Chain A
Amino acid sequence: MIIKECVITVKVGLHARPANEFSAIAKAAPFEITVGKPGAPLVKANSPLRLLTLKAHKGDNLTIAFATEDESAANEFFERLVATISE
């Protein structure tokens, strides 16, 4: 398990288009990706409904967990995920 943190900078927050793209990328990963606000339970990142229930706004921190030990693969997906929630 590799855990990383980032900040949402896209104006609408994690729903609508950003959440759609975010979940699509998570779906494409060969390992499970979970996400949540720091300290709160993580939810499946491939589910737009679960992402919506995080109620994550612009400026909120996110913890993203990658169920793999492959650092470079996790990094690649992390960067792609962060791009969807960056302005």
Chain B
Amino acid sequence: MESVRTLDGIGVGNRAVRAEVLRWSARKSLPAMAKSSLGIEVEVNALSMAIANLENQYAAKIKSASNQELREILEAQCAFVTDPELADMAKDFYEQGWDAPSGLQLAMGEFKSLLEGAGGEFGERVADLDEIVYRLIQWMSGESDETVLPTSGSFIIVADDLTAMDTIAFSDVVVGVVSKGGGPTSHTAIVCRSRGISAVVACSGADELVNGQMVVIDPDASQVIINGVLEDTAVDWWAGRSSLGAPVIQVMANVGSVADATKVQGADGVGLLRTELFFLDHKIAPTRAQQMKIYEQVLVAGPDGEIIVRTLDAGSDKPIAFLGLGREENPALGVRGQRVAAIAPQFFEDQLHAIKAAADSVRATGKKIEVSVMAPMIATVEEAEKFSKAARAAGFKRVGIMIEIPAITQVISQLKGVVDFLSIGTNDLSQYLFAADRVNSGVAALLNPWQPALLSLLQSIAIDSAKAGIKVGVCGEAASDPLLAVVMAGLGINSVSASPSSVAAVVDLLSRVDASEALEVANSARRANNPRDAKAGAKAALIEI
């Protein structure tokens, strides 16, 4: 029998899975857009050579394809590669002076923009088009091939770290993720949580894992078990408590895509509708009308009730091409979130109006939604005033801000009459409170949401908000942990917003406690001096009550 070994990291999700390891080599970013000094003919020729080469690669793969389905997929992709319309379109851009990779990207961008807003299988083809652009440019720059996800089977993806772009490409064959880098609030963790993929991040021993190895990911124990066996997962430990009906505080859902929105069940509205992922792919700023279409789709697909849309949170690790943000030494502390509005005021004005127009048009169909907006990365009352004014001018009745920067937590009483609600983003709040980079796995332990200082700050925010008569919710990843959601209720938080895959568990546990029990659980957590004892204390208190 093969030996069983364990690797430690930080668990994401609550379901253990067992599958085969597939190592993922990260994609390099595409080269920056550039003009050519070599002339049109050279660029046209570079593209046609790349196309011919890729066509040959496809032909070889099609020949060796093991099944009909795979063969048809490859044939369809190959037909896009050799479509003369693509080369013709690119030629228009070469005539404007762009180099081969840039002209190709711009040309494919034209086709992609025509697919904008297409759902289902048509929308999914955009990934094929991106794949083709990537492979053609790889060939032009003389670089090698990389990982392609198999179309069937179950795999645990193992990587140094994954970008949002990588994780978007994950199909249903990905059942688990192990990353050497990242922390509990890295984008890898967020995407995995929202898609119900179990993961262990910040796993320093991940290099040991090799392709084909069978491993178990146990997120509860924060372990990867090499040659491990999957045990029957026990029923939820709180199942013995009886349900009191409704959850003790409002439970909403976090949504970042149309696919997320369709998955939301049992949530009382959307507490955080992220708008970044809608724009990651765009080379040029989408128009109001284009944006409105995207928002309409997600509003139609999502639940009824209060829907809180967050304006674009770009910058740092979420670059958006059309905003033209420069490189920064320290992007997490730089121009990001609402700060970008100073550089791109027109985009933010368009976004507010597009959200309002989409909300009005979806409401007109009879869907019972109340759409409000909130701004990310607000540090001062002055910034909050500015955003509130702009949002109300666009027609919004309820306006809020995110609480992510410690500075704003010190002036909550002065937000009275400025905003209607606050939403705590625990991920960034932890990053700034503990001076611990979210993407540096070396400091991941500080970002544990059970840290006593974070719990203490949540409590003081809740108290100050109540005094100012402003509702406060938590929309960070921490709210997806049912036990932590009980603690938040006890600390005085009015609502939590969890990832769609966690909503059911959060609602379930919050329906089995009343306000005084939640307070007792919160007090137990607050007495601890470290995150482990805080969690253990909360659990023990809840079992005892």
Please give, as numbers and ranges, the residues of chain A lying within 8 Å of B76 by CB-CB distance. 15-17, 19-20, 48
Is B259 located at the chain interface by the 8 A CB criterion?
no
* Given A17-B76, A55-B115: A50 in contact with B125 (beta carbons within 8 A): no
Size category of the A interface is 10 to 19
Chain A 45-64, CB within 8 Å of chain B: the 1/0 string?
A: 01111101101010000000
Choose one: A47, A52, A55; the contact of B84 (CB below 8 Å). Answer: A47
Provide the bound-state CA to CA distance between A23 and B115, in Å: 18
Q: Are B75 and A17 in contact (CB under 8 A)?
A: yes
Q: Which residue of B lies closest to A12 (CB)?
A: B121
Provide the bound-state CA to CA distance between A17 and B79, in Å: 10
Is A37 located at the chain interface by the 8 A CB criterion?
no
Please give, as numbers and ranges, the residues of chain A lying within 8 Å of B122 by CB-CB distance. 13, 15, 52, 55, 57
- Total cross-chain contacts (CB, 8 A): 50
Please give, as numbers and ranges, the residues of chain B lying within 8 Å of A57 by CB-CB distance. 122
Is B114 located at the chain interface by the 8 A CB criterion?
yes
Question: Nearest 10 pairs between A and B by C-beta?
Answer: A53-B114, A47-B85, A48-B79, A49-B83, A16-B76, A17-B72, A55-B118, A55-B122, A20-B79, A49-B111
Is B73 located at the chain interface by the 8 A CB criterion?
yes
**Min C-beta distance of A17 to chain B, whole Å:** 5
**Min C-beta distance of A68 to chain B, whole Å:** 21
Chain A 19-44, CB within 8 Å of chain B: the 1/0 string?
A: 11001000000000000000000001
Chain B 426-470 interface residues, beta-carbon cutoff 8 Å to A: none
Please classify the interface of chain B as helix (H, G, I), strand (E, B), loop, or mixed, using the class held by over half of its residues.
Answer: helix
Please give, as numbers and ranges, the residues of chain B lying within 8 Å of A44 by CB-CB distance. 85
**Min C-beta distance of B439 to chain A, whole Å:** 36
Give me the interface of A with B, judged by CB distance under 8 Å: 12-13, 15-17, 19-20, 23, 44, 46-50, 52-53, 55, 57
Q: Which residue of B lies closest to A44 (CB)?
A: B85
Q: Which residue of A lies closest to B124 (CB)?
A: A15
Q: Are B125 and A23 in contact (CB under 8 A)?
A: no
Q: Which residue of A lies closest to B83 (CB)?
A: A49
Provide the bound-state CA to CA distance between A57 and B121, in Å: 10
Provide the bound-state CA to CA distance between A16 and B120, in Å: 13
Is B86 located at the chain interface by the 8 A CB criterion?
yes
Please give, as numbers and ranges, the residues of chain B lying within 8 Å of A19 by CB-CB distance. 76, 79
**Min C-beta distance of B545 to chain A, whole Å:** 54
Provide the bound-state CA to CA distance between A19 and B75, in Å: 11
Provide the bound-state CA to CA distance between A55 and B84, in Å: 20
Can you name 8 A-B residue pairings with CB atoms under 8 Å? Answer: A19-B76, A19-B79, A44-B85, A49-B86, A50-B83, A52-B111, A52-B122, A55-B118
Central interface residue in A46, A48, A50, by most chain B CB within 10 Å: A48
Q: Are A49 and B85 in contact (CB under 8 A)?
A: yes
Q: Which residue of A lies closest to B75 (CB)?
A: A20
**Min C-beta distance of A85 to chain B, whole Å:** 14
* Given A13-B122, A15-B121: A48 in contact with B72 (beta carbons within 8 A): no
Central interface residue in B72, B114, B121, B122, by most chain A CB within 10 Å: B122
Is B238 located at the chain interface by the 8 A CB criterion?
no
Chain B 60-117 interface residues, beta-carbon cutoff 8 Å to A: 72-73, 75-76, 79-80, 83-86, 111, 114-115
Please give, as numbers and ranges, the residues of chain B lying within 8 Å of A16 by CB-CB distance. 72-73, 76, 121
Q: Are A23 and B79 in contact (CB under 8 A)?
A: yes
**Min C-beta distance of B7 to chain A, whole Å:** 40
Provide the bound-state CA to CA distance between A21 and B520, in Å: 67
Provide the bound-state CA to CA distance between A53 and B75, in Å: 18
* Given A16-B72, A17-B72, A20-B75: A52 in contact with B115 (beta carbons within 8 A): yes
Please give, as numbers and ranges, the residues of chain B lying within 8 Å of A48 by CB-CB distance. 76, 79-80, 83
Provide the bound-state CA to CA distance between A48 and B86, in Å: 10
**Min C-beta distance of B117 to chain A, whole Å:** 9
Please give, as numbers and ranges, the residues of chain B lying within 8 Å of A55 by CB-CB distance. 115, 118, 122
Please give, as numbers and ranges, the residues of chain A lying within 8 Å of B85 by CB-CB distance. 44, 47, 49-50
Provide the bound-state CA to CA distance between A20 and B71, in Å: 12
Q: Which residue of A lies closest to B128 (CB)?
A: A52
**Min C-beta distance of A81 to chain B, whole Å:** 16
Please give, as numbers and ranges, the residues of chain A lying within 8 Å of B80 by CB-CB distance. 48-49, 52
**Min C-beta distance of B203 to chain A, whole Å:** 38
Q: Are A47 and B83 in contact (CB under 8 A)?
A: yes
Q: Which residue of A lies closest to B71 (CB)?
A: A17
Provide the bound-state CA to CA distance between A15 and B127, in Å: 14
**Min C-beta distance of B119 to chain A, whole Å:** 9
**Min C-beta distance of A13 to chain B, whole Å:** 7
Provide the bound-state CA to CA distance between A68 and B217, in Å: 63
Q: Known A-B contacts: A20-B72, A52-B115. Give 11 more (CB < 8 A).
A: A13-B122, A15-B76, A16-B121, A20-B76, A23-B79, A44-B85, A47-B85, A48-B76, A48-B80, A49-B83, A53-B114
Provide the bound-state CA to CA distance between A47 and B85, in Å: 6
**Min C-beta distance of B131 to chain A, whole Å:** 14
Provide the bound-state CA to CA distance between A12 and B120, in Å: 10
Please give, as numbers and ranges, the residues of chain A lying within 8 Å of B118 by CB-CB distance. 55
Central interface residue in B79, B84, B85, B86, by most chain A CB within 10 Å: B79
